[in-house]
Amino acid sequence: MTTEHPTITRFRDDHRRRGGTGQVVILPDSVHTAALAAAALGCEVGAIANSLLFDADGSPVLILTSGAHRVDTTKVAAALGVTALRRATPEFVREHTGQAIGGVSPIGHPAEVPTYLDSWLRRYEVVWAAAGHPAAVFSTTYDELAAMTGAPTMEVE
C-alpha cells in the first residue's frame, strides 16, 4: 500500500472539515500547469482553478484564477490597496501554504491566507483545483469553492 503524501492528507482533512463534496483525484504525473491538468482531466483549461500565491508587500495573497487567465498584478494590487503584487518565491509559497508551487490548494494551509476568486470560474459547472500536491486535484463548483475559502470575487485580468 502506498502512503499518501502528507500535504494531500492535510488537504483532505481540511476539505472534509469545510464541507467539501468534490472528488480528490491522484493523477499518475505532476500537473503543475493548467494546460497539463486540463489535458489529464479532459476539461477546458478555463475550468482549472490555478491557486497563485503572491507576495503583497510582504504578506501572502492567494488568487484563484481560471487557467484561461493571467493575473494583471497592477490591476489586482490597486484593487487590494497594496503597492505591488509580486510572484512569490518557492520558499514564500511553502512558508505560507505548506505546499509546493504547482500543487498549492485553495485550502489546507497552516494559517488562513487572504484569498480572492476569479469571477470567470462561474462559467463552469465543474471546477478543478490542486489538492495540495502537483499530482493531486479535486473537483468542486464555483459556489462551493467560494464557500470553502470565503474568497470574494474579483476581476483578475
- The pLDDT tens digits of the residues spanning 68-98 come to 999 999 999 999 999 999 999 999 999 999 9
In three-state secondary structure terms, 32 is coil
Report which of 89, 66, 85 is spatially closest to residue 75, judged by C-alpha positions: 85
Sort residue 141 into left (φ over 0), alpha (ψ -120 to 50) or beta.
beta
Structural domains of the chain, count: 1
Range of the domain at 135: 6-154
pLDDT digits (tens, 9 = 90+) for 32-53: 788 888 999 999 999 999 999 9
Question: Which pLDDT score, from 0 to 100, does residue 33 have?
Answer: 82
1 in any annotated domain:
no
Q: CA 46, 69, 120: angle at the middle one, nearest 5? A: 60
pLDDT digits (tens, 9 = 90+) for 133-145: 999 999 999 999 9
CATH code of the domain covering residue 108? 3.90.960.10
